Structure 1
Amino acid sequence: MLVRFAALLATLATPALFAPIASSPLPPSQDPWYTTPSGFEAASPGAVLRLRSAPGNITAIFNASSAAYNLLYRTMDSKYEPSWAVTTLLVPKHTNGSALLSYQIPYNSVDIDAVPSYALYDPAFSGTPPIYTDIQTALSLGWYVNIPDFETHTASFGVGVTEGHATLDSVRAVLDTGFDLAANARYALWGYSGGSIASEWAAELQAQYAPELSFAGAAIGGTVPNTSTILTQAAGQWWAGLFPEGLLGLTAEYPAARAYLLSQLKTTGPFNRTGFLVAENVGVEEAFAVYANQPVFEYFVNGYESLLDPVLQDILDNNGYMGYHGIPQMPLYVYKAAQDEIAPIEGVDELVSKYCSVGVNIVYERNTIGGHLAEEINGDARALRFLQAVLGGVYNHTGCTVRNVAVNITDSPM
């Protein structure tokens, strides 16, 4: 593996393709490193196009790591056209190179400067429970940690096919580069909420898109099996900011749909185009604050009816419904709050039932305590135990197990 890494460095040894460590990170919108070399379209999905030591002090932030790298790699969008994305790889201080965790962070934003490869430097982002502790724990266990900007350079939040492709190709990029990972290293996926979108779509797309990959498992929490439920139920909710972020993300790769979306926004009144497009330049936490409890359908000239046009529904049909693009080949651990207010549990029940009927190896735990935010904390240790088992090669569950649990680590009612 070290030989492969050295060979890649030699291949990318021009200043444009391999860059030495920089003193501090720049926002992607201002960093020329976030561009592709000419002719990148001819590269295979997962091919590394640029490689650098991650700038700044990221190994001080995640002090269980010894090194950090950014990889810019080739992937494919939801239309199976060439695209690219960036991933961050953290190397543990103490490791035998036997395990890689691909950790999909729920960044839920169409702001291209909100991607993990940049946002990880912000304590307000990286320090959000349980992101920091998850990464530190994984590194302390000797796992390499892969953190992809899975919405890709187009900020395609919620476009399931794109996010799944980008996640799979990030793993391809890391494995192909090596970084002292063992040839027989096990690798697994983990994602909660928005991270579950990328993780689950990667799991169901893997067999047809990346058949050479063999994941040890996938932990998927706060699962969002039907994107349309978020859009239809967002009005008046504390999480209404996901409405503009979601619509802008879904149309990012579809010019006709984006043009239609913009044509339907009001130009006057308290809920207008200018206010809606604020979402383009804010991270998810700020979006929650800006749009909290707003009647978000009021941004459109025809209210909710504006969302029913086929130009939008076609995107949702192809990218917003889990369970229609393949059968996960790896063991799944699915965890969900029964009172999840953002993505109702019934959709996850149906998805799990569908997978169980075709033989997927699943443990599904329905927590009777808490809501969407609480379960990110309440389910964390259980997901970690599953990942330790699959990455340690000792997981022995087979079949389909569905059970209710009552776990209350946080006092949060949501």
Structure 2
Amino acid sequence: MRGIAVFLALISLIFASPLTVKSPLVDDFYTAPDGYESAKLGEILKLRKTPSKLSSMFFEIDIKNSWQLLVRSEDSFGNATAIVTTVIEPYNADPSKVLSYQTFEDSANIECSPSYGMQYGAPWSTVATQIDMALMVPIQSGKATLDSIRAILKSNKFTGIKSDAKVAMWGYSGGSLASGWAAALQPKYAPELKKNLIGAALGGFVTNITATAEATDGTLFAGLVPNALSGLANEYPEFKEILYQKVSKAATDNLRQGTEHCIGGAILYFAEDQYFTGDDRAFPGGYGLLKEEVVNKTISENNLMQMDKDYLPDIPIFVYHGALDSIVPISNVHVTYKNWCDWGINSFEFSEDLLNGHITETIVGARQL
């Protein structure tokens, strides 16, 4: 993207996480330094040039520079965490303009971190998820996105990005969840960023986790269910306890595998598995699991569609979504659109593509940006 300092806010879920590229499990860079809890939100804890060149699925990307930043953030409950974000500088970049792109990780495994997977030489199964982001813990991913932006606006000494740079957020699918929550949380969590943020583009907009679980159960994309449940379980101990109380003995190991697979592997491993429907469903109580008090409360707190006007974005919003989307039903986006408009959002443009579904809209919809 000529004329833009492209900033990919590629964030891991927990503490952020050639063929010599080190896994985040053994790479000390991903470990927060002692006393990091006292650092301010958005403070840069560590910074380095990316250890390996960045890549697309198979080939190196020709760029001017790239850096990784370990950044102070917090989880859904306000506890200190650290996340990793990758800053990419293309040739002829304009340091006064930044694109904060949230990729869909859709995995609870730190080794699926895009900051690792997008490096040339990382395992193919990980590289395949580099356009993927945290469907798993929406509130935390929203905070992490904002803290990443805070960090890069302080990185001028290293990256050349100006502190008053204008920033646009963008995300598709699980990435839209992170960008969407960032937009919703920004007025109270990071009010100082209002002067920098010019808007957010949200594609395949995930506003209701339950609807996605129902839509994908028993389908090719059934792997989204255990991966999403595992991500929330990592963040909410009571939620995890209920899951393992309610899952059948035969499906217990299957559910645990939700912490092991990146989304590409999950699609293959869990294809057409049934968690809430069918005679051999993983949860004998079916959709009744989602009505359990702890489960319902946890998911509701992470469904943007169910938030009140206290979470109304204060920046322009552009949503593009395929009407034929069988993974993220568009009806829930309609609800969010109506709510935000009724509550007085200043700018909300909604582009509904009548001919495309979730996968094809990834490419077709992006042409509008």
TM-score scaled by length of structure 1: 0.76
**1:191 partner SS:** strand
Q: Give the Cα–Cα distance (whole angstroms) in 2 for the partners of residues 123 and 103 of structure 1.
A: 22
Aligned residues: 337
1:79-124 CA deviation, whole Å, 9 max, x = no partner?
A: 1221121111112222231211111111101111001101112485
Aligned to 2:11: none
* Maintained 8 Å contact 2:125/2:265: no
Are 1:291 and 2:270 counterparts?
Answer: yes
Structure 1 runs not aligned, ≥5 long: 1-21, 132-148, 152-156, 384-414
Structure 2 runs not aligned, ≥5 long: 1-17
Q: Give the Cα–Cα distance (whole angstroms) in 2 for the partners of residues 226 and 328 of structure 1.
A: 17
Aligned to 1:392: none
Aligned to 1:380: 366
1:139-174 CA deviation, whole Å, 9 max, x = no partner?
A: xxxxxxxxxx975xxxxx432211100000011111
Aligned to 2:257: 278
Q: Could you say if the C-alpha distance between residues 255 and 126 of structure 1 is closer, same or farther in structure 2, counting changes exceeding 3 Å?
A: closer
Q: Which sits farther off after the overlay, 215-224 or 308-317?
A: 308-317
What's the CA shift for 1:55?
Answer: 0.5
Q: Could you say if the C-alpha distance between residues 92 and 368 of structure 1 is closer, same or farther in structure 2, counting changes exceeding 3 Å?
A: same
What's the CA shift for 1:352?
Answer: 1.2
Aligned to 2:291: 308
Q: Could you say if the C-alpha distance between residues 368 and 126 of structure 1 is closer, same or farther in structure 2, counting changes exceeding 3 Å?
A: farther
Decide which structure has the larger Cα Rg and report it: 1
Q: Could you say if the C-alpha distance between residues 306 and 127 of structure 1 is closer, same or farther in structure 2, counting changes exceeding 3 Å?
A: closer
Q: Which sits farther off after the overlay, 362-371 or 255-264?
A: 255-264
Aligned to 1:28: 24
User: What is the letter of the counterpart of residue 379 of structure 1?
Assistant: G
User: What is the letter of the counterpart of residue 336 of structure 2?
Assistant: L
* Maintained 8 Å contact 1:338/1:366: yes
**2:71 partner SS:** strand
Aligned to 2:315: 330
Which runs of structure 2 are paired with 1:100-139 in the superposition (5 Å)? 100-121=98-119, 122=122, 124=124, 131=131
Q: Give the Cα–Cα distance (whole angstroms) in 1 for the partners of residues 127 and 245 of structure 2.
A: 39
User: Where in structure 1 do 4 or more consecutive aligned residues deviate above 4 Å?
Assistant: 59-62, 122-131
What's the CA shift for 1:231?
Answer: 2.0
Aligned to 1:82: 80
1:241-262 CA deviation, whole Å, 9 max, x = no partner?
A: 1110111111211112212212
What's the CA shift for 1:364?
Answer: 0.7
Q: Could you say if the C-alpha distance between residues 84 and 73 of structure 1 is closer, same or farther in structure 2, counting changes exceeding 3 Å?
A: same
**1:33 partner SS:** helix
1:338-394 CA deviation, whole Å, 9 max, x = no partner?
A: 1111121111111112222213302110000021111101101102xxxxxxxxxxx
Aligned to 1:15: none
Aligned to 2:4: none
**1:65 partner SS:** coil
Q: Give the Cα–Cα distance (whole angstroms) in 2 for the partners of residues 308 and 259 of structure 1.
A: 15
User: What is the letter of the counterpart of residue 283 of structure 1?
Assistant: C
Are 1:175 and 2:161 counterparts?
Answer: no
RMSD between aligned residues: 2.3
Q: 1:209 aligns with which of 185, 189, 192?
A: 189
* Maintained 8 Å contact 2:129/2:262: no
Q: 1:229 aligns with which of 201, 208, 211?
A: 211
What's the CA shift for 1:293?
Answer: 1.5
Q: Could you say if the C-alpha distance between residues 320 and 264 of structure 1 is closer, same or farther in structure 2, counting changes exceeding 3 Å?
A: same
Q: Give the Cα–Cα distance (whole angstroms) in 1 for the partners of residues 133 and 75 of structure 2.
A: 11
Aligned to 1:318: 301
Q: Give the Cα–Cα distance (whole angstroms) in 2 for the partners of residues 278 and 124 of structure 1.
A: 19
Q: Could you say if the C-alpha distance between residues 259 and 312 of structure 1 is closer, same or farther in structure 2, counting changes exceeding 3 Å?
A: same
1:190-230 CA deviation, whole Å, 9 max, x = no partner?
A: 10001000000001110000000031111100001111111
* Maintained 8 Å contact 1:59/1:65: no
Q: Could you say if the C-alpha distance between residues 183 and 38 of structure 1 is closer, same or farther in structure 2, counting changes exceeding 3 Å?
A: closer
User: What is the letter of the counterpart of residue 208 of structure 1?
Assistant: K
Aligned to 1:161: 139
Q: Give the Cα–Cα distance (whole angstroms) in 2 for the partners of residues 189 and 74 of structure 1.
A: 19
What's the CA shift for 1:130?
Answer: 10
Q: Give the Cα–Cα distance (whole angstroms) in 1 for the partners of residues 125 and 321 of structure 2.
A: 23
Q: Give the Cα–Cα distance (whole angstroms) in 2 for the partners of residues 150 and 370 of structure 1.
A: 21
Q: Could you say if the C-alpha distance between residues 365 and 127 of structure 1 is closer, same or farther in structure 2, counting changes exceeding 3 Å?
A: farther
* Maintained 8 Å contact 1:186/1:216: yes
Q: Give the Cα–Cα distance (whole angstroms) in 2 for the partners of residues 286 and 34 of structure 1.
A: 23
Q: 1:366 aligns with which of 339, 348, 352?
A: 352
Q: Give the Cα–Cα distance (whole angstroms) in 2 for the partners of residues 32 and 158 of structure 1.
A: 24
Aligned to 1:218: 200
Q: Give the Cα–Cα distance (whole angstroms) in 1 for the partners of residues 285 and 129 of structure 2.
A: 39
Q: Give the Cα–Cα distance (whole angstroms) in 2 for the partners of residues 343 and 23 of structure 1.
A: 35
Aligned to 1:53: 49
Q: Give the Cα–Cα distance (whole angstroms) in 2 for the partners of residues 372 and 180 of structure 1.
A: 36
What's the CA shift for 1:125?
Answer: 6.8
